[in-house]
Amino acid sequence: MTAHSASRRPRRKPGEAREALVTTAREVFIEVGYQGASLRQIAAKAGTTQAILYRYFPSKAELFAESVLGPVQAFVRTLTDDWREISTAQVSTPDLIAGFSESIYDFAVTHRGLIAALLAAHAHGDGFTADAKASLTRTINDLVARGREESTGRGWADIDVDVALPATMALIISTAMLNDWLFPPEIGLDRERILKELIRYEVRAITGGDR
């Protein structure tokens, strides 16, 4: 075996290089942010070359959209699809709110770094193409549209779903993101207690009742 052949990278199966780039990019964007990340760094860490990276992602913005924005959109789409499979008769409003809140809270806690990278890029005007912004807006609007479909059957006629649903999501996400500051471990508030009160707050606001 020659030194040249020994130094060659092992041949990857189709799609493996792209998957490695997306996974590595997500880690790098979370660690150093959009501005701090370089495509050279991402390619090297993924065990490939910039030339191969550019074959899949012509720009850093497109790689950011796939690796950071993509999982957030996928989660919201799943939330919407799951809601479409539930009828008013099957699940009560308090139980619907509880499931909705638990899913968003757990996603935000688990993917705190991902959401922080997304928010930082948006705040600084980095990493967001017009197409990426439009795509994220459509994804959220699909969820809101599902809320409007449910509003009559669930007695939400007096609620402005276009405002209430995104605002409720923001409340849950921000609580999860700031969990360590708002509820430091020494005060003894666990996930169950935090969610119980969040859900009760939302149920009262939406239905006027309690859970």
Report pLDDT for 210: 62
Report pLDDT for 8: 56
Q: What is the spatial distance between Cα 103 and Cα 78, in angstroms, rounded to a whole number? A: 10
For residues 174 and 116, the answer to whether their CB atoms sit within 8 Å is no
Per-residue pLDDT reduced to its tens digit, 96-138: 999 999 999 999 999 999 999 998 888 887 766 777 888 889 9
Q: What is the pLDDT along the chain (211 residues), one digit of tens a residue?
A: 444 444 455 566 657 999 999 999 999 999 999 999 999 999 999 999 999 999 999 999 999 999 999 999 999 999 999 999 988 778 999 999 999 999 999 999 999 999 999 988 888 877 667 778 888 899 999 999 999 999 988 988 889 999 999 999 999 999 999 999 999 888 888 999 999 999 999 999 988 766 5
Report pLDDT for 56: 96
- DSSP characters over 96-124: HHHHHHHHHHHHHHHTHHHHHHHHHHHHT
Q: What is the spatial distance between Cα 141 and Cα 154, in angstroms, rounded to a whole number? A: 19
Report pLDDT for 2: 47
Report pLDDT for 211: 58
Helix axes 93-110, 191-207, angle to 10 degrees: 140
Q: How many residues does the chain have?
A: 211
Report pLDDT for 84: 92
For residues 199 and 209, the answer to whether their CB atoms sit within 8 Å is no
Helix axes 16-36, 112-123, angle to 10 degrees: 50
Q: Which two tokens stand for residue 169?
A: 């999501």
CA distances (Å), origin 87, targets 13, 91, 101, 140, 147: 43, 7, 18, 20, 12
pTM above 0.85, yes or no: yes
Q: What is the spatial distance between Cα 160 and Cα 153, in angstroms, rounded to a whole number? A: 15
